[in-house]
Amino acid sequence: MTAPSGPARTLVRVFTQRFSCTRRGARLARQLALVELHDWGVPESTALSADAGLLVAELAANAVLHGRVPGRDFELRMTLLEGVLRIEVSDARRDRRPALRPHAYQAESGYGLRIVDAVAADWGVMDRLIGKTVWAELTHRAGVRT
């Protein structure tokens, strides 16, 4: 067995919730994420809260638009570690993997992953037994109340 690479991170908080795979579900995911962050000691007026809200909104919207399977929900999971907030959105479609692609001039859509790439410290995609999980991480400084 090999030792994990990099410094160990201490788990501080976890929030997991399923939402209907609708625009209303995506909006509710963002709202509940901000409420949960506030309960964790991350006030809504902070950059971390604003960035997390933006990432949840983009990832949830992508799950609803591109990952929808009738009768299946999407799942939001936020994990607060020392120095990192990890946001994961899982949907039921594995065949539609997100990727950054060249963008057409003045296009009205297709900016979501560019926003995620610009805001997140890191992001990626993992396969699940059913579907996939798109994750993004934000770094934060110590001092978040836990």
Domain ranges of the chain: 11-101+110-139
Q: Identity (one letter) of the amino acid at 37?
A: L
Q: How many beta carbons lie within 10 A of that of residue 114, not counting itself?
A: 13
Provide the edge-to-edge strand list for the sheet that holds 11-19: 11-19, 74-81, 84-91, 132-139, 122-127
Q: What is the pLDDT of residue 2?
A: 46
| Mean residue pLDDT across the chain | 85
Query: What residue has token string 């009738």?
Result: 70
Q: What is the pLDDT of residue 97?
A: 67
- pLDDT tens sequence across 18-73: 999 999 999 999 999 999 999 999 998 899 999 999 999 999 999 998 887 887 89
Q: What is the pLDDT of residue 45?
A: 87
Q: Exposure of 129 by Cβ count < 10 A (0-12 exposed, 13-18 middle, 19+ buried)?
A: exposed
Q: What is the pLDDT of residue 3?
A: 45
Of the pLDDT bands very low, low, confident and very high (cuts 50, 70, 90), residue 120 is very high
Rounded Cα distance between 99 and 114, Å, is 9
Rounded Cα distance between 67 and 97, Å, is 9
Query: What residue has token string 């929808």?
Result: 68
Please report the sign of the dihedral spanned by the C-alpha atoms of residue 53, residue 58, residue 59, residue 65.
positive
Mean pLDDT of 75-85: 94
Q: What is the pTM of this model?
A: 0.83
Domain covering 11-101+110-139 in this structure, CATH number: 3.30.565.10
Statement: residue 137 has pLDDT above 60: yes
